[in-house]
Structure formats: structure tokens, C-alpha cells
Amino acid sequence: MQTPPFQRARASVLGARDACWQPTESDLRASRRRARLSELDAHLHCSVIGTCLSTGELRRLVPKFTDLDRYHASDLEIHHAAVELAIAGGAGAKALNKALDERYAGAIRRFDAARDPRALLDLWNDALKSGDIPPAYWALMSHPHASIEMRQSAFGELHMLSHLVGAANRADIRRLVALEAENEALKEKIERQQARLVEVSAERDAAVRQSNEHALQLAARVERKADLSTAQPEAEIERLRDKVEDGERRLALHTSRREAAEQRAQRGDDETRVLRNKLGEAQALLKVVQAECAALERATLDAGAQPDARRRAVEWVSGKRVVYVGGRPNSNAALKALVEGAGGEMIVHDGGIEDRKGLLAAALPNADVVLFPVDCIDHDSMSMLKRVCERHGVDYSPLRTASIASFVEFVARLGASGQNVQDARKAQTSAPPPSAFCLRHG
């Protein structure tokens, strides 16, 4: 990628620092002081804030220094406002800098051990391999030994990594974010209902106490006047009865309200339980997708450094015959080239759309392993290949999706852990079910 047009802050000819002066890299290294967020180049603020701070943290911090509403402003508006605060400096930039330092204090201490650019680059490469990017990115950008070239390189690697990872799990993240937002909304609703329930219960208890006290007062008054001759005893008794009945009606009303509030709270608990289950499934699916993306990323990054890295990524298929049933034409062609490049043989069958199903039954007995993506294969072909494989004792395993990442992750796991196909297939049973939507069958 091209180098971003970073601009260096300049000092006046007399050596005095003007209002726009910012410390240079040599100044920071000489003083051994970490760079603040406002001292970084303005082109880096967007990547630092977007990578290292979550939307929830920004919604808590940004409205304190702007006129944005934390509940109604969009994520993009919050992000733009945070970047503007970082560029402007001041209290907003200090708050963002403090949030970054507190959140990534461990990574900052780890990077402080680097005394030269080479050690700092080694720590950054280790973070790239492990996938722990946000803490390392902030620790690198603010390190006193980080040069402008090193920051540009980290910015470029993060930019390309966002393209690679974002294309694979963008939809899963949107669903997860939607579920989290819905869960937060339900939690707030339940808290309001519980607060209202407590308020209604307090009102009911107060009404009951007031009715009891009033009844006792009336009873005492009746007892005191029992020996006195009154002109209208029946009217007084009737009035007292009316008051008692009115108290009973109010008690019944508060009781019905309390029961309705309890029912609403129970329904809210049930909805929360269902959402927790959905959130658990979404998180499990996200872990599977992240594992697939990590396997594909390792193969891609290694391939850039070593020419035969792609072959080692699927080394398990070397000398084996793989039958792949279903999938999509574009990804199937790429998978076939990948297996053949590793020294294996791959037979692709579309499940009976254009290829005859009789060819599938003939190709299965001679295969070392049969793979099929469960999101892009018809049920008849899947049932038939399972029966044929079990009859001839051929190992088969389903793949979560028809993507290249699922295939590479499965084969890499077989080659790394030494598992056989049956053990790998059993390990996949704990993964969440794939999407029921298929690009070919709907």
C-alpha cells in the first residue's frame, strides 16, 4: 500500500516551540516518554480509536465532551466525534488517552521492555501471530522507540488485516452486536419493571397499613361510643362499612397490579433466557469462524514469506485422494488447485445438478476421505454418500461451510494434531449448526 501522507510537526528557526509544535520521534526517545494520542499524526487517530476502543466505551466518553446523545447517535457519529476530539487535543483527548492506557496497561508494560526498534518489531510480530492486535497496536503507536516507518508499517498491516478478517465474519459480528443490543434493552426493561414492581408493592403495603390503622381507629371509636346513645347509629355503621369496602377494593386493585407486574417480569426472564441461549450460539459460531479465519490467515501470511507455505498448510492431503461433494464452482476450483498443489488428488462432484449421481457412487469407494459442506449440498446426495461411505468403510466428514477457510482449517487441524477423520468429525459436533440458507438451494 502507499504510505499515508503523514506530516511532521516543525519547530521555528530560532528553536522555540510554537502553538502547533508536536514532539518528534527523537524528542520522545530522548525523554523516554510515551507519545500521547493527541501527539500522533492525525491520520492514525481513526485506526487507533476504531481498533483499540469499543463502541460502548466511546458512547460513555464522547458525550461528556460533545453535544451528541449517547442513546440516539449512530456508531459512525460517535467514532467521528472521538477522532475529532483526539485531533483537537484538550480534555477529550486526555480522557481517550487515559482510557487506552488503563485498558492496555499490561501490553504497555510488556512493550516497555523493548529498548530498540528491533525488539519492538519482534513484540509486534508476536502479537500479529497470536491475533491479540488492539493492545499491541496502542503499545506500539505510543512507544518512544517507535519510528514513523514502523508506525506506517503497523498501520498498513492492520488495514489489510481488517479487509481479510472483516470479509469473513462481518455478518456474524452484526448478528452478535444486534443480539447484545437487544439483550441490553431487555435488561433495562426488566430493571424498570422490577423498580415499578417494588414501587407498587410499597404502595400496596402502605395502603394496607393505612386501611388497618383506619379500621382500628374506627373500631376504637365504635367501642367508645357503644354506650352512648346516638341519633343515627345505623348511618355511622353503614359509613364505616363503606370505608372498609373501599379499602378492600383498593387492596384488590393493588394485588391485581402486583400479579400483572410479576407476570410481566416472568415473561421478561423467559425472553432473557432465550436471548442468552441465542447469544451463546452466536458466540460459539463466532469462535468457529475465528478459528477458520486464523487458519486461512496463517496460510496467507506464511505464503507471503515462504513460497511452499501454501503446500504445508494442507500437507495432510499429500498422496491422498479427496472427494468433495457440493460447494460452489469458484471455491471448488480454488480448493482443487490447492490440493493438487500439495500433491493430492481431488474429485469434485456438484451433487447431481450438472454431474450425474452415478459418477458420485462410483468415485466414493476409492477415496481416502469424503468431504461435503453442509450449507451447499442437497439432502439426497448427502444421505446417499453417507450410506456408500459406511458400506465401503470410507471416512467422511461434513464441513461447516463451502468456504476455503473451512476446508483449510479442517485439513490443518488434521495435520497439526494427528487426528484421524473420525476424531475430527466428532470434534465438530460441539460446533453450532451452520446457516440454513444455501446460495444454490435457498
Give the lowest-confidence range in 43-52, 183-192, 396-405, 407-416: 407-416
**Do residues 77 and 31 both lie within one domain?**
yes
Whether residue 269 lies inside any domain: the answer is yes
Whether residue 394 lies inside any domain: the answer is yes
> Residue 300's pLDDT band (boundaries 50, 70, 90)?
low
Upper half-sphere CA count for residue 8 (Cβ side, 13 Å):
9
**Is the CA virtual torsion 22, 24, 25, 28 positive or negative?**
negative
What's the structural domain count of the chain?
Answer: 3
Whether residue 136 lies inside any domain: the answer is yes
Strand partners, 369: 322, 395
User: How many of the other CB atoms lie within 10 Å of CB of 85?
Assistant: 26
**Do residues 253 and 329 both lie within one domain?**
no
**Do residues 205 and 95 both lie within one domain?**
no
**Do residues 421 and 362 both lie within one domain?**
yes
Cell of 96: 481517550
Upper half-sphere CA count for residue 290 (Cβ side, 13 Å):
10
**Do residues 110 and 187 both lie within one domain?**
no
**Do residues 106 and 202 both lie within one domain?**
no
Whether residue 439 lies inside any domain: the answer is no
Whether residue 154 lies inside any domain: the answer is no
Cell of 154: 503497523
Whether residue 20 lies inside any domain: the answer is no
Question: pLDDT by residue (tens digit) across 340-399?
Answer: 888 888 888 877 666 666 677 777 888 888 898 988 888 888 888 888 888 888 888 888
pLDDT above 50 (res 442): no
**Do residues 270 and 325 both lie within one domain?**
no
**Do residues 190 and 270 both lie within one domain?**
yes
Question: pLDDT by residue (tens digit) across 311-338?
Answer: 566 777 788 888 888 888 888 888 888 8
Upper half-sphere CA count for residue 402 (Cβ side, 13 Å):
24
> At which of 121, 146, 171 does a domain end?
146
pLDDT above 50 (res 12): no
- Are 416 and 298 in contact by the 8 Å Cβ rule? The answer is no
> At which of 255, 275, 295 does a domain end?
275
**Do residues 351 and 262 both lie within one domain?**
no
Residues 85-110 have a mean pLDDT of: 88
**Do residues 248 and 332 both lie within one domain?**
no
Whether residue 109 lies inside any domain: the answer is yes
pLDDT above 70 (res 13): no
**Do residues 187 and 110 both lie within one domain?**
no
pTM of the model: 0.36
**Do residues 128 and 199 both lie within one domain?**
no
List the domain range (segments joined by +) for residue 96: 25-146
Whether residue 196 lies inside any domain: the answer is yes
> At which of 91, 126, 146 does a domain end?
146
CATH number of the domain where residue 359 is located:
3.40.50.10190
